[in-house]
Structure 1
């Protein structure tokens, strides 16, 4: 199922999200939203790389769209990875309560399922750093697209954090859970304000305030 997930149409993916099934869920949706943000970054960089007015930045912009493409693909891959990981959680909870192996299977699955959301957050942070660069180096006419990308990456990061917390709250290994939660909080504290700043910058520019 996970391999087929990203072969769906946009409509098909939305229908899969709406279905009464455990996957795809919030983590997978977050990864896809992050991929859209990274893709917008790639678009802005591509336009800039071929803009004669920005010829002095062409090399940087060419490198930027290659990086953005890699991030978008990484996030698309994480859609399927999150589906696979949460599938293990569902399978573990489906084990008979009489089976003595059930508690360990659930804990192992929770540890596995916590990692795709963290990787989604990390990738979105890297995409936001690239979007900040595009806000300075890309065409001002595309600043709203940069900001949209930032808003998408922000939403994806916050959504993935909720999925991560849903897994860590049930972990018996509290030291590991708290380590993951602290790393998650650090990403949120670092990148959410910076994403908001990009959105404000684009809004102010559109309204000619600055």
Structure 2
């Protein structure tokens, strides 16, 4: 994705090929949210009356940049994980040993395909916390962009949750499933509360 244009990515997203799919789209939404946070900080730096925010804005630029890179890497990682799962399904079944190896590879494939959206969820939570700082201290002229970042990150998180939920029914390791679903439930609650709190800040500062 790092060398692919947005237009090319969207063209592939709309095609009949299974990748990129929802996981890649979720990561792209997260990357856009992180990008907006960085933009708000860049605009705020040097603005009149914002001298006290300089150090914080520079930190936000740094954190948002790292986060955007993480999300961007997830676009490819999601496709690699899905392709690995599909390859596992194509393994031979010519003997009992081969059947067992295939079954193990499929299970590993499902877990790998679940780990990527879980990573996306974690990154989104970080991004939402960063968006709150952006909304509190960013320049008022770009305050709406902090709000858009919240919506993008919340959409990314909820999209990633769907990608976890579609995989876990096929996973036989119940401890893995329980841990994933517990993390999803906690993340949804935290994200909803965080987003609502930040949007309240945005609306209050805009009014």
Per the normalisation by structure 2, the TM-score is 0.92
Alignment of 1:17-96 (within 5 A): 17-96=13-92
CA apart distance, 1:9: 1.4
Contact 2:77 2:116 in 1 (8 A): yes
CA apart distance, 1:8: 1.8
| Cα separation, 1, equivalents of 2:193 and 2:155 | 12
| Cα separation, 1, equivalents of 2:108 and 2:91 | 13
| Cα separation, 2, equivalents of 1:57 and 1:11 | 36
Contact 2:136 2:201 in 1 (8 A): no
Tell me the number of residue pairs that the alignment of Structure 1 and Structure 2 aligns. Answer: 203
Classify the secondary structure of the residue corresponding to 2:117: helix
Classify the secondary structure of the residue corresponding to 1:159: helix
CA RMSD of aligned residues (A): 1.6
Classify the secondary structure of the residue corresponding to 1:52: coil
2:196 maps to: 196
| Cα separation, 2, equivalents of 1:202 and 1:138 | 10
**Which deviations, in whole Å up to 9, do the C-alpha atoms of 1:31-90 show, x marking residues without a partner?**
011000000000001111221311011011111111111101110011111111111111
CA apart distance, 1:112: 1.0
Contact 1:22 1:90 in 2 (8 A): no
User: Is 2:154 aligned against 1:158?
Assistant: no
CA apart distance, 1:204: 5.9
1:12 maps to: 8
- 5+ residue gaps, structure 1: none
1:132 maps to: 132
Contact 1:48 1:54 in 2 (8 A): yes
Contact 1:151 1:199 in 2 (8 A): no
| Cα separation, 1, equivalents of 2:74 and 2:46 | 31
1:109 maps to: 109
